[in-house]
């Protein structure tokens, strides 16, 4: 979710009891979209990373922010906030700022003064000054000397990112490791776990073909030990980390099955990529659930579509792509998923301050699925899910059904920091083919579920009535907060995934005329597209 900022409790629930935990991935940050721009040596030894100084981390972070953030930062203001976060554990430390200098004060006494950089946008200069003040603060403060370096780094980085935008954030090494697992996979056994109300760790799902499946692990098994170490009183995240490890490394999982017997199963960890695509048949329709965008999503989607075509054959009426509560993921996967359905032309574009952040993404695919398509979204559909929904809607390839989406219309680049943490940095805005940006605004559905009281009464006239609203939506350029608030009241975002969404989608696919009208309400005239998007 770029990463959608969510409360920690909710994040753990999403990451560890949802499909994102397929062994066992913490899905972002709700909707993180790395561009592949990872700035650090990925072979760094984690043992030494734990000893990395806060000075090194802040220097690299400030350089990246200065070069790449969507908006030109004010480092003068940011530096004071960063220092407060860094020194939060010692109230006797403070800074005094003037136009020409920044002075460190400890217990009422001046310790050291450094020249204030003249340019408030010079991240390198302000980062260098802060690094010197950090070092001097640690020398002067017994409290900071006794504080864990990871705590100091996190305090500084969280305070820094709060000065930018809501989707820029810091992930400490543990969270960053989970993020990388979710995006790219890693060593594991291929299970989804959840904690019950009575604190049992239960296996909710087993990934086909994974080591756990081959060893005989079953859904419903209760984890009691890993490599002989009891897991009964462990936190869910502790169990997750215990089960992960290097590919090929052995692990013994002990479970309690059927309430009456204990079974120990030996296996070797394999490379696990969390499952993000599942298929089910609903009548003569292929219902495909797409829960996130990771490195395997497009391949999984292709397999699901192939299975659907083989199972349904000529009887297939269409495809329902369910992206409700999909928080997003990898940008390149959003592109390739859209290409699965769009055979040519613009998918979306990006606009930012850094030259590399300004791009137009086009589909050049000649192998697209032509079946009628309905996309389901809700208020928790964000980021990469919105890229796909907006492109399919604008290009007249699908009808979107549900509620207005979350409205995360920015792209983040992931900066790997020296301590193995990550700076997830907003660096561009997303723009739909019609030229609007859905950041804060969201993607409005062709058919708003909340406004349908009788599915059988849906007809071309009632569907066509949405067209002026969608035209107004797509015509917006830089709307104010008040205008966005009023727009989102047209079809308020919802967090549920009601069966009614699927029923409406099925109704559209059963009636080709009604489906054509629904698609037309949100599609744009190619001749009316922005010139920049057509190029």
Could you tell me if 159 and 410 are in contact, meaning their C-beta atoms sit under 8 angstroms apart? Answer: no
CA dist 196 → 15, 16, 17, 199, 204 (Å): 15, 12, 10, 5, 11
Q: What is the C-alpha separation between 115 and 121, in angstroms, rounded? A: 15
What per-residue confidence (pLDDT) applies to 33? Answer: 35
Residues 73 and 197 in one domain: no
227 is catalytic: no
Give the per-residue pLDDT at 95. 95
Residues 444, 333, single domain; the answer is yes
361 with 503, same domain: the answer is yes
Digit-coded pLDDT (tens) for 164-212 = 999 999 999 988 888 888 777 788 999 988 888 778 899 988 988 899 9
Q: What is the CATH number of the domain that holds 203?
A: 2.30.42.10
Same domain, 97 and 244: no
Q: Which residue has the tokens 């969270």?
A: 175
- pLDDT for the residue 195: 85
Summarize the confidence of residues 391-406 as an average pLDDT: 96
pLDDT bracket for residue 285 (50, 70, 90): very high
Q: Active site residue: 325, 394, 428, 506, which one? A: 394
Say if residue 5's pLDDT is above 60: no
Alpha helices in 395-498 (DSSP H): 460-464, 467-475, 481-488
Q: What spatial distance separates the first Cα and last Cα of the chain, rounded to whole Å?
A: 29
Whether residue 266 is found in the same domain as residue 291: no
Which residue in 383, 428, 506, 523 is the catalytic one? 383
Q: Is the pTM of this model over 0.85?
A: no
Q: Is the pLDDT at 13 greater than 50, yes or no?
A: no
**pLDDT band per the 50, 70, 90 thresholds, residue 1:** very low
Mean pLDDT of the chain: 86
User: Is 166 a catalytic site residue?
Assistant: no
Three-class DSSP category at 144: helix
The Cα–Cα gap between 105 and 112 comes to: 8
Who wins on pLDDT, 486 or 10? 486
Q: Does 387 lie in the same domain as 238?
A: no
Tens digits of residue pLDDT in 124-165: 999 999 999 999 999 999 999 999 999 999 999 999 999 999
Is 383 a residue of the active site?
Answer: yes
Specify whether the CB–CB gap between 157 and 57 falls below 8 A: yes
pLDDT higher than threshold 80 for residue 448: yes
pLDDT of 40 over the 50 cut: no
Note the pLDDT of residue 532.
Answer: 44
With 60 as the cut, is the pLDDT of residue 17 above it?
no
97 burial (CB, 10 Å; 0-12 / 13-18 / 19+) is middle
pLDDT digits (tens, 9 = 90+) for 313-343: 999 999 999 999 999 988 999 999 999 999 8
Whether the per-residue pLDDT at 529 is higher than 70: the answer is no
Q: How many domains does the chain have?
A: 3
Using pLDDT thresholds of 50, 70 and 90, give the confidence band for residue 20: very low
User: Is there a single domain that holds both residue 338 and residue 486?
Assistant: yes
Q: What is the CA radius of gyration of the chain?
A: 25
By residue range, what is the domain housing residue 221? 186-272
pLDDT given at position 525: 61
Domain boundary among 209, 243, 272: 272
pLDDT of amino acid 50: 56
């Amino acid at each position: 979710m770029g990463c959608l900022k969510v409360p920690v409790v909710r994040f753990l629930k999403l990451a560890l009891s949802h499909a994102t935990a397929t062994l066992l991935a913490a899905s972002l940050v709700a909707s993180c979209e790395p561009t592949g721009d990872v700035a650090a040596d990925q072979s760094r030894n984690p043992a030494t990373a734990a000893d990395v100084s806060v000075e090194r981390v802040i220097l690299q972070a400030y350089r990246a922010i200065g070069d790449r953030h969507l908006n030109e930062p004010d480092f003068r203001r940011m530096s004071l906030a960063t220092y407060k976060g860094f020194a939060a554990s010692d109230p006797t430390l403070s800074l005094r700022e003037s136009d020409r200098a920044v002075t460190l004060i400890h217990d009422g006494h001046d310790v050291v003064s450094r020249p204030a950089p003249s340019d408030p946008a010079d991240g390198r200069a302000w980062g260098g000054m802060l690094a010197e003040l950090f070092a001097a603060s640690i020398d002067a403060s017994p409290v900071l000397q006794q504080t864990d370096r990871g705590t100091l780094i996190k305090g500084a980085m969280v305070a820094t990112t709060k000065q930018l935008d809501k989707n820029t954030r810091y992930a400490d090494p543990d969270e960053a490791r989970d993020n990388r697992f979710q995006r790219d996979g890693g060593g594991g056994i291929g299970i989804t776990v959840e904690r019950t109300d009575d604190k049992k760790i239960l296996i909710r799902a087993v990934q086909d073909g994974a080591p756990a499946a081959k060893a005989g692990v079953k859904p419903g098994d209760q984890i009691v030990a890993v490599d002989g170490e009891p897991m009964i009183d462990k936190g869910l995240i502790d169990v997750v980390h215990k089960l992960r490890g290097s590919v090929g490394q052995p692990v013994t999982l002990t479970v309690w099955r059927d309430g009456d017997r204990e079974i120990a199963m030996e296996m070797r960890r394999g490379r696990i990529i969390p499952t993000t695509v599942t298929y089910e048949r609903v009548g003569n329709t292929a219902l495909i659930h797409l829960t996130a965008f990771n490195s395997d999503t497009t391949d999984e989607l292709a397999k699901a579509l192939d299975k659907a075509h083989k199972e349904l054959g000529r009887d297939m009426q269409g495809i329902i792509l369910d992206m409700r509560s999909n928080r997003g993921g990898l940008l390149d996967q959003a592109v390739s998923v859209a290409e699965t359905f769009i055979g040519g032309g613009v998918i979306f574009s990006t606009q930012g301050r850094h030259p590399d952040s300004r791009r137009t993404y086009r589909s050049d695919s000649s192998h697209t699925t032509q079946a009628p398509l309905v996309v389901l979204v809700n208020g928790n559909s964000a980021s990469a899910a919105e890229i796909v929904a907006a492109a399919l809607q604008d290009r007249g390839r699908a009808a979107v059904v549900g509620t207005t989406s979350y409205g995360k219309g920015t792209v983040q680049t992931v900066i790997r920091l020296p301590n193995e943490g990550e700076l997830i940095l907003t660096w561009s805005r997303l723009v739909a083919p019609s030229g609007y940006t859905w950041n804060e605004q969201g993607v409005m559905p062709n058919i708003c579920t909340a406004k349908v009281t009788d599915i059988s009464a849906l007809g071309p006239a009632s569907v066509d009535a949405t067209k002026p609203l969608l035209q107004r939506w797509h015509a917006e350029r830089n709307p104010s907060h008040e205008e966005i608030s009023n727009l989102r009241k047209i079809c308020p975002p919802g967090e549920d995934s009601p069966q009614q969404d699927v029923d409406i989608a099925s109704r559209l696919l059963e009636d080709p005329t009604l489906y054509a009208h629904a698609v037309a309400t949100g599609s744009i005239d190619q001749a009316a597209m922005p010139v920049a998007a057509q190029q």
